[in-house]
Amino acid sequence: EEQSTFTHGVVRIFPDGLLYPGTTPRFLNRIQSFKFRPNDVILITFPKSGTTWMQEILWTMLFNPNLDNPQATQLLLVRSASISVDMMFDTVKLEELNLESMYEALKKLCPGKNVEDGVGVQCLDAMPGQRVIKCHYPLDLMPPDLLDKTKVVYVARNPKDMVGSYYHFYKVIKKIYYKGSMDTFMKLFMDKDVVFCPYWPHIKQAWQKRNHPNLQFVFYEDLKADPQEEIRKLNQFLATGLTEQQLKNVVHHTSFSSMKSRGDPMPDNGLYNQELHQTTGGFYRKGVIGDWKNHFSQELNQEMDKWIKENIGDSSIPFKMD
Ligand code: A3P
């Protein structure tokens, strides 16, 4: 049985036709007026591009380079806050979720705050000092002076692997329960009918600014091939001054196997069908380059190549497909 896509809880924002969680228009205003701090590090990604990996890298670089910070055992969601967490709380019916552990952690972080209302922004406001802030919104939806004020890291992943990863994710999110085939999912994606689409403006806006001194554009594939080198570049970019040993610590602590061994970033919060999720490997599913080859039919691959060629335009973003 083929199922199209989210049937509720999403909104298309015209004129660009962005397909976003339903609360986005309301939260966009908050983000536009959000008080970023000069030392905040903002992480922007299209979903399934290595967001969680980079969140852990950035947090570890800033706050745990000697791997001795006891806070490192807290949920990543709490340590490295997400500005778009609000959307999730509003889109998903709270009573359907077992969010207790998440709320408990957030309540500790924001004593006296009503965490059910605007939890992301409130918690960010309550967080002292320097912050790592994750966001899936493209640069054009962020405050226009963001790059003048703060450092932004953008992670991109080759679209074949990213969509493959997204497909598995769509299947296990309770609210979506995507039942269609990979081929159908890809067509939906290319037709901009998957949440956070369209993909191309998102990546192109960041690619255009890749030489801006406050933007670091990182490819998932480069990070995978030589994490130490990419983390060294981040060390320069963030002026974190980490030693070789500390860089090694970060590489080790954020490898796929160590992150997987520490458990899912949002353990058992009700977002997923855990049983189904675990059958494909859980949140840390495979973490490799080229897994699309195990899932794409030849026809689908040709179609996607065509789609990439048509859309990449003069940007010539140098994706590595394997
Ligand atoms: P796969 O589904 O291909 O395994 P995001 O955090 O943006 O949602 O991205 C999730 C993807 O990043 C998943 O891809 C996940 O396995 C991968 N990932 C997470 N941590 C990783 C790590 N330390 N190294 C490599 N890949 C990682």
The pTM assigned to this predicted structure is 0.89
Domain residue ranges in the chain: 10-315
Q: Which residue has the higher pLDDT, 172 or 304?
A: 304
For residue range 114-161, list pLDDT tens digits in order: 544 455 666 677 777 898 988 888 898 888 999 999 999 999 999 999
Of 163, 256, 258, best ligand 1 pocket probe by most atoms within 8 Å of the beta carbon: 256
| Ligand 1: residue whose CA is nearest its atom 18 | 287
Closest approach atom of ligand 1 to CA 284 = 16
- Range of lowest pLDDT (80-84, 93-97, 235-239): 93-97
For residue range 42-54, list pLDDT tens digits in order: 999 999 999 999 9
Q: Which of 3.40.50.300, 1.10.357.10, 2.60.40.1180, 2.60.40.1120 is the CATH number of 10-315?
A: 3.40.50.300
Residue 273 has a pLDDT of 79
Residue 110 in this model has a pLDDT that exceeds 60? no
- Range of lowest pLDDT (69-83, 140-154, 264-278, 308-322): 264-278
- Range of lowest pLDDT (48-57, 71-80, 313-322): 71-80
Closest approach atom of ligand 1 to CA 168 = 2
% of the chain beyond a pLDDT of 90: 49
With cut-offs at 50, 70 and 90, classify the pLDDT of residue 251.
Answer: very high
Distance CA 57, CA 98 (A): 28
- Range of lowest pLDDT (23-32, 194-203, 304-313): 23-32
Residue 60 has a pLDDT of 97
Residue 89 in this model has a pLDDT that exceeds 50? no
With cut-offs at 50, 70 and 90, classify the pLDDT of residue 281.
Answer: confident
Residue 80 in this model has a pLDDT that exceeds 80? no
Residue 4 in this model has a pLDDT that exceeds 50? no
Q: Which residue has the higher pLDDT, 295 or 11?
A: 295
> Ligand 1: distance of its center to the CA of 257 in Å?
11
Residue 99 in this model has a pLDDT that exceeds 60? no
48 lines ligand 1 (CB under 6 A): yes
Average pLDDT value over all residues in the chain: 82
If one counts every other C-beta atom within 10 angstroms of the C-beta of residue 49, the result is 27
Helix H or strand E segment including 259: helix 256-261
Q: What is the ipTM of this complex?
A: 0.99
> Ligand 1: distance of its center to the CA of 220 in Å?
9
Mean of pLDDT values over 246-271: 87
Distance CA 14, CA 28 (A): 14
52 lines ligand 1 (CB under 6 A): yes
| Ligand 1: residue whose CA is nearest its atom 12 | 50
In Å, how far from its chain's centre is CA 248?
Answer: 24
DSSP string, 115-161: TTSSHHHHHHHHS-S--EEEE-S-GGGS-TTHHHHSEEEEEE--HHH
Residue 70 in this model has a pLDDT that exceeds 70? yes
Q: Which residues contact 123 (CB under 8 A, 6 or more apart)?
A: 78, 81, 85, 106, 109, 110, 113, 115
> Ligand 1: distance of its center to the CA of 317 in Å?
21
Mean of pLDDT values over 185-210: 90
Of 257, 285, 293, 295, best ligand 1 pocket probe by most atoms within 8 Å of the beta carbon: 285
Of 154, 165, 173, 220, best ligand 1 pocket probe by most atoms within 8 Å of the beta carbon: 165
With cut-offs at 50, 70 and 90, classify the pLDDT of residue 269.
Answer: low
With cut-offs at 50, 70 and 90, classify the pLDDT of residue 64.
Answer: very high
Closest approach atom of ligand 1 to CA 255 = 23
| Ligand 1: residue whose CA is nearest its atom 10 | 48
Residue 197 has a pLDDT of 85
50 lines ligand 1 (CB under 6 A): yes
| Ligand 1: residue whose CA is nearest its atom 24 | 256
| Ligand 1: residue whose CA is nearest its atom 17 | 287
Residue 34 has a pLDDT of 83
51 lines ligand 1 (CB under 6 A): yes
Closest approach atom of ligand 1 to CA 165 = 2
Per the structure block, which two tokens stand in for 235? 């060390």
Indicate which residues carry an active-site annotation.
136
Residue 272 has a pLDDT of 74
